Structure 1
Amino acid sequence: MTSLKKNFIYNAMYQVLIVLLPIITAPYISRVLGASKMGIYSYTYSIAYYFLLAAKLGLDNYGNRSISRVRDDKDKINQVFSSIYYFQFFIACIAIIGYIGYLFFISNNLTIAVIQILWVIGAIFDVNWLFYGLENFKVVVFRNTVVKVLAAIMILLLVRKSSDLWIYTLIMGGSALIGFLVTWPFVLKQVRLVYVKKQDVFKHFKQILILFIPVIAISVFTVLDKIMLGKLSSFSQVGFFEGAEKILIAPKGVIGALGIVMLPRMASLYGENNLKQKNKYIELSLSFAIVLSIAFMFGLIAISSNFVPFFYGIKFKPTITLLSIMAITLPFYSIGNVIRTQMLIPSMRDAPYVVSVILGAIINVIINLMLIKPLGAVGAVVATLCAEIIVACYQINSVKKELELRKYMKLILYFFVIGLFMASVVLYIGVSIKNRILGLTIQIVVGMSIYSLLGIYTLKKSKDPVITLLSNRLKIN
């Protein structure tokens, strides 16, 4: 448990950094580039991202799971890492060739699209799955922190006017590529590349492809939304959507950090058939994710009308509505994240995971086609919300016998009421105080205080076994 806490803290601290840096850069970039230019960046990145996904297939989850199962045997680690990495290198080269073909024959906004190839090239060198499988999160977090800070500094120094979109794109893609490259000395300290037979390389293809299906399906309601907005609406609508999504990255990242940390540990426990410890971790993780996601949901809804104009400027006012709707996805995302990263993927139950996200993707595309033209970005956000609900409900149903979600109902009800009360007070403060910066500061402080104090009181007084388990682990007596 100590190592899990440390790894979660590393990842959570990195997510805090992701919150802090955009507070500096996002308001600056949104004002310098504007919604339309940000929309062009988001649109071209979304297309490059699909080639990046093709380069990685389902390697992140598959590599993580595979390494975690052999991490106590150095020779096996070298064999498994080498065979998976050779496969990754081969697929990434094909994806790069495919993207070059796209640039020659299809691409609009050619200059920006050419620079975006840096993301696809980065897939050759991205082996985060090795560190996750070994539960060595410190290297990845340190690398990402340095890269993010340096990129933020360069953006503030070099992006000065709207025509500097190419510089912004170069900084974003170039910093990611350099970050992957500088990790390799640490990689070679952990493992070494060894000779493996061709059949040992390509034997991974089937399982990687199975795990790639949900990755590509999830991208439909994280990336394809923006491509469809660009085609069916306008680049400004893409920019407003991107604004809301960027704010949501931080809470989703903190919640997702739990899944990243727990997946290799759970894969190891499933391999050992340690059901008692596995069930205890799942109960604790799900309780923690529920409490955290409800806080984020009500908090973002309550401060959005003050936060968005302060963060992006008054021209991004449509993002207020988008953020408020998008925040509702957080509880569904958090429950689904625990189920897939701690139950389905570690136990190699890939089928319900795959089916759930395919259903979500289909629903997302259908609703996008129906709502984007009349509603713009609002239609895309509604589609995303519906997709997240479908995915979470299907995954819950697939593990209902071992999860028994009804025993978490008291926890959900208690913290929903606390969150609703907190949001009511915070909204009142936002309306009452006319100075936006002062009002926002008081909203955040008061909101955190109310939710924390009432939450601690509930954890101390409740006799419910799930709430008691969470209280004991957080050492609230």
Structure 2
Amino acid sequence: MNYMMKSYRFTWFLSIPMCLGLISTAPNFVPWFYGPGYEKVIVVLQAISGIIIAIGISNVTGIQYLVPTNRQNQLTLSVIVGAAFNFGINFYLIPKYQSVGVAIATLLTEWLVTMVQLYMVRRDFGFKTILSQSTHYWLAGMIMFMITITIEQMFSPTIIHTGVIAIIGGAVYIGILLGMRDSVLMEGISAAREKLGI
């Protein structure tokens, strides 16, 4: 169980800032990357960004636990449930919301698959236990998000400004976790020091 919790913590550590960072930087990134006429992509990216977290958690649950413990049938069932749901929700959302509807349907589907898998392992790992591993990362991520979304509104859409926003956001996120002495970050720093002989 300890190894699984480490995997969940590492997934939260990476996926939360990636999700929130994509939401906050999309308005600056899309105009220069895609060009005029693609403003709708901003909303699509922001809507679909939550799958980063869902896919990360479902990969830990499904690939790292259900498969090695010979419970592939449960993994397959979660995928079938997701596929059926995706077909139905797309049928409803696409005519009304087009590409944004696809993004929302994809997001809801990935989270449904994740929740089904978490339900299947509820006796092995409690949902609250898994969720509790994310506390540091949500706190640091939300502070990072508020700062980056404020900066984004001050910058024009250029590759340099997008890079600056990403660097500032990353520095804030890591800085907060350093202050918290987060276990994932501290273990990573220790491993890097050992490898470099520092």
Tell whether the structures are fold-level matches, with TM greater than 0.5: yes
| Aligned equivalent of 1:371 | 93
Question: Does residue 399 of structure 1 match 2:128?
Answer: no
Q: Which residues of 2 match residues 164-179 of structure 1 at below 5 A?
A: none
State the identity as a percent: 26
| CA–CA distance in structure 2, aligned partners of residues 352 and 402 of structure 1 | 14
Q: How many pairs does the alignment contain?
A: 191
| Aligned equivalent of 2:13 | 291
| Aligned equivalent of 1:380 | 102
Instruction: Measure how far apart 1:289 and its partner are.
Output: 0.6
Q: What do you get for the CA RMSD once the two structures are aligned?
A: 1.9
Rg larger in structure? 1
Q: Which residues of 2 match residues 94-109 of structure 1 at below 5 A?
A: none
| CA–CA distance in structure 2, aligned partners of residues 442 and 471 of structure 1 | 22
The alignment's TM-score, normalised by the length of structure 1, stands at: 0.38
Question: Does residue 349 of structure 1 match 2:71?
Answer: yes
Instruction: Measure how far apart 1:282 and its partner are.
Output: 1.8
Q: Which residues of 2 match residues 187-266 of structure 1 at below 5 A?
A: none
Q: Is the CA contact 1:429–1:439 (under 8 Å) kept in the aligned structure 2?
A: no
Please, which runs of 5 or more residues in structure 1 have no aligned partner? 1-278, 461-466
| CA–CA distance in structure 2, aligned partners of residues 472 and 309 of structure 1 | 37
Q: Is the CA contact 1:368–1:383 (under 8 Å) kept in the aligned structure 2?
A: yes
Instruction: State the one-letter code of the partner of 1:388.
Output: E
| CA–CA distance in structure 2, aligned partners of residues 450 and 286 of structure 1 | 22
| Aligned equivalent of 1:319 | 41
Residues 273-321 of structure 1: CA deviation (Å, up to 9, x unaligned): xxxxxx3332221110111000100010010011112222122221110
Question: Does residue 442 of structure 1 match 2:164?
Answer: yes
The alignment's TM-score, normalised by the length of structure 2, stands at: 0.88
Residues 98-122 of structure 1: CA deviation (Å, up to 9, x unaligned): xxxxxxxxxxxxxxxxxxxxxxxxx
Q: Which residues of 2 match residues 113-128 of structure 1 at below 5 A?
A: none
Residues 73-100 of structure 1: CA deviation (Å, up to 9, x unaligned): xxxxxxxxxxxxxxxxxxxxxxxxxxxx
| CA–CA distance in structure 2, aligned partners of residues 399 and 408 of structure 1 | 11
Q: Is the CA contact 1:336–1:391 (under 8 Å) kept in the aligned structure 2?
A: yes
Instruction: Measure how far apart 1:340 and its partner are.
Output: 0.8
Q: Give 3-state SS (helix, strand or coil) of 2:59's partner.
A: helix
Instruction: Measure how far apart 1:435 and its partner are.
Output: 5.6
| Aligned equivalent of 1:473 | 187
Residues 355-413 of structure 1: CA deviation (Å, up to 9, x unaligned): 11111111111111111111101111111111111100010111112223322434323
| CA–CA distance in structure 2, aligned partners of residues 430 and 471 of structure 1 | 27
Instruction: State the one-letter code of the partner of 2:104.
Output: V
| Aligned equivalent of 2:81 | 359
Question: Does residue 301 of structure 1 match 2:23?
Answer: yes
Instruction: Measure how far apart 1:472 and its partner are.
Output: 5.7
| CA–CA distance in structure 1, aligned partners of residues 74 and 157 of structure 2 | 50
Instruction: State the one-letter code of the partner of 1:454.
Output: I
